[in-house]
């Protein structure tokens, strides 16, 4: 009987604790939903206002370009009219001069000779070869469109991240079920990478680290892979440090990425086989297929990485200070929607000189 009562109290205590935690999470969720609704309304209003301004800009540009062409056309027509007027004046003077010369009055002719000089007439200059070239106009307009498309593609990831994930803040507890613990693969490490005994930390070594020759080692890129492929869902954390003007990169990549050389086919984020977040003391950037997306905001020293391979989601989180419940919170830095064509993805890292990276 005593054992039964003990087990009952233990179970009740466990249930009460779970209820309390769930209610706390529910309250936080309600607060987030209220914040989401308010922020969503404001974001929609800002979006509509900015797109209205953008459309007004395009309308203005659509009228300004033809007006500019018409103005130049009018200016050239005006020059033509002035030139025709010059020709008419000269013809009149020539006729008057012939009429005066026919009177055989040399004195009067010499006295009026200066009146027939063309030097006092202003000369209108024009470009005899001037012509509008529709192909040139089209070239510059299309180049402008391409530049705008590039700007859009560079920023749409940021817009998408903030729209889709901008209100998402979560606790470690929500990510722990996806936790993995990557280990560095020393066989792939660059020759100046010193890896800890438990394979969880890599530091820069000024001396070459002797590991023997391996076909799968990065020969020139300062990079290293982790040994195990990532599961369908995975979450891991990274701490890094560096000196000014040095950087690290947190990446996921296919195992068959090129290892020899220093070209874009080897570097994380510079090809279509890898995705990476680059961090330095002053800036954050996301790279894929050599396209850079600059990310505003402070640079975190601790980053959480979440992968949902089937859904094609790769997200990077800023791990903020602990809240009142002594639980770290995660805030989205950047998230990308990708199509992973291969089944195996590996964590990878670029570790520059005087830098270090540790995984958890």
**Does 242 fall in a domain?**
yes
Q: DSSP 3-state assignment of 332?
A: strand
**Does 156 fall in a domain?**
no
352 & 270 share domain: yes
% of the chain beyond a pLDDT of 70: 78
Separation between Cα atoms, residue 80 and residue 126, nearest integer Å: 8
235 & 95 share domain: no
Q: Which of 140-154, 161-175, 333-347 has the lowest mean pLDDT?
A: 161-175
Q: Is the pLDDT of residue 218 over 90?
A: yes
Separation between Cα atoms, residue 320 and residue 82, nearest integer Å: 74
The number of distinct structural domains making up the chain is 2
Of 95, 125, 155, the last residue of a domain is 125
Of residues 147 and 279, which shows the higher confidence score?
A: 279
Q: What is the pLDDT of residue 266?
A: 95
115 & 172 share domain: no
Q: What is the DSSP string of 11-29?
A: HHHHHHHHHHHHHHHHHHH
pLDDT tens-digit readout, 245-283: 899 999 999 999 999 999 999 999 999 999 999 999 889
**Does 20 fall in a domain?**
no
Q: Is the pLDDT of residue 167 over 50?
A: no
Of residues 258 and 11, which shows the higher confidence score?
A: 258
186 & 293 share domain: yes
Q: Helices H, strands E: what count in the chain?
A: 4, 14
113 & 183 share domain: no
| CATH number of the CATH domain containing 189 | 2.60.120.920
Distances (CA, A) of 212 to 1, 190, 203: 67, 12, 19
120 & 252 share domain: no
Q: What is the pLDDT of residue 54?
A: 82
Q: Which residues, 6+ apart, have CB-to-CB distance to 344 below 8 Å?
A: 229, 230, 254, 255
Q: Are 351 and 224 in contact (CB under 8 A)?
A: yes
**Does 170 fall in a domain?**
yes
320 & 187 share domain: yes
DSSP label of 44 = H
The domain in which residue 280 lies consists of 165-359
Q: How far is CA 259 from the centre of its chain?
A: 26
**Does 141 fall in a domain?**
no
Of residues 246 and 34, which shows the higher confidence score?
A: 246
Q: DSSP 3-state assignment of 349?
A: strand
Of 65, 99, 125, the last residue of a domain is 125
The whole-model pTM stands at: 0.58
HSE value, Cβ hemisphere, 13 Å, CA-based, for 121: 18
69 & 119 share domain: yes
Separation between Cα atoms, residue 157 and residue 163, nearest integer Å: 10
Of 125, 157, 188, the last residue of a domain is 125
175 & 313 share domain: yes
95 & 181 share domain: no
pLDDT tens-digit readout, 319-347: 876 544 444 678 889 989 888 988 899 99
**Nearest to 176, CA basis, from 283, 304, 15:** 304
**Nearest to 212, CA basis, from 187, 195, 183:** 187
Of residues 74 and 114, which shows the higher confidence score?
A: 74
Radius of gyration of the chain (CA): 36
Confidence tier at 139 by pLDDT (50, 70, 90): confident
Q: Is the pLDDT of residue 25 over 50?
A: yes
Q: Which residues, 6+ apart, have CB-to-CB distance to 112 below 8 Å?
A: 100
HSE value, Cβ hemisphere, 13 Å, CA-based, for 351: 31
203 & 107 share domain: no
Q: DSSP 3-state assignment of 171?
A: strand
Mean pLDDT over 126-152 rounds to 72
354 & 211 share domain: yes
Distances (CA, A) of 325 to 28, 85, 319: 12, 90, 15
**Does 91 fall in a domain?**
yes
**Does 209 fall in a domain?**
yes
Q: What is the pLDDT of residue 26?
A: 80
**Does 169 fall in a domain?**
yes
Q: What is the pLDDT of residue 349?
A: 98
């Amino acid at each position: 009987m005593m054992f039964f009562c003990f087990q009952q109290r233990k179970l009740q205590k466990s249930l009460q604790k779970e209820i309390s935690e769930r209610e706390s999470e529910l309250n936080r969720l309600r607060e987030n939903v209220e914040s989401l609704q308010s922020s969503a309304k404001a974001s929609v209003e800002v979006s509509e206002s900015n797109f209205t301004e953008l459309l007004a800009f395009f309308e203005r540009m659509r009228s300004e370009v033809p007006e500019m062409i018409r103005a130049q056309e009018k200016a050239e027509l005006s020059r033509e009219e002035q030139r025709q007027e010059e020709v008419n004046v000269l013809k009149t003077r020539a006729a008057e001069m012939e009429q005066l010369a026919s009177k055989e009055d040399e004195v009067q002719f010499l006295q009026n000779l200066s009146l027939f000089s063309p030097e006092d007439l202003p000369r209108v200059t024009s470009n005899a070869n001037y012509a509008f070239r529709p192909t040139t106009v089209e070239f510059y307009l299309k180049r402008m469109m391409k530049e705008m498309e590039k700007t859009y593609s560079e920023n749409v990831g940021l817009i998408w991240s903030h729209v889709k994930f901008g209100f998402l803040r979560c606790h470690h507890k929500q990510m722990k079920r996806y936790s993995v613990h990557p280990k560095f693969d020393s066989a792939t490490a660059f020759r100046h990478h010193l890896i800890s005994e438990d394979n969880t930390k890599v530091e820069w070594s000024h001396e070459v680290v002797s590991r023997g020759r391996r076909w799968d080692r990065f020969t020139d890129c300062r990079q290293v892979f982790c040994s195990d492929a990532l599961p369908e869902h995975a979450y891991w954390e990274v701490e890094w440090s560096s000196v000014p003007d040095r950087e690290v990169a947190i990446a996921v990549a296919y195992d068959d990425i090129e290892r020899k050389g220093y070209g874009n086919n080897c570097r994380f984020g510079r090809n279509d086989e890898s995705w990476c977040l680059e961090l330095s003391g002053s800036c954050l950037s996301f790279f894929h297929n050599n396209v850079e997306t600059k990310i505003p905001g402070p640079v975190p020293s601790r980053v959480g990485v979440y992968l949902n391979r089937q859904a094609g989601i790769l997200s990077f989180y800023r791990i903020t200070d602990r809240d009142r419940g002594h639980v770290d919170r995660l805030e989205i830095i950047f998230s990308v929607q990708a199509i992973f064509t291969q089944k195996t993805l590996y964590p990878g890292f670029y570790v520059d000189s005087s830098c270090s990276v540790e995984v958890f």
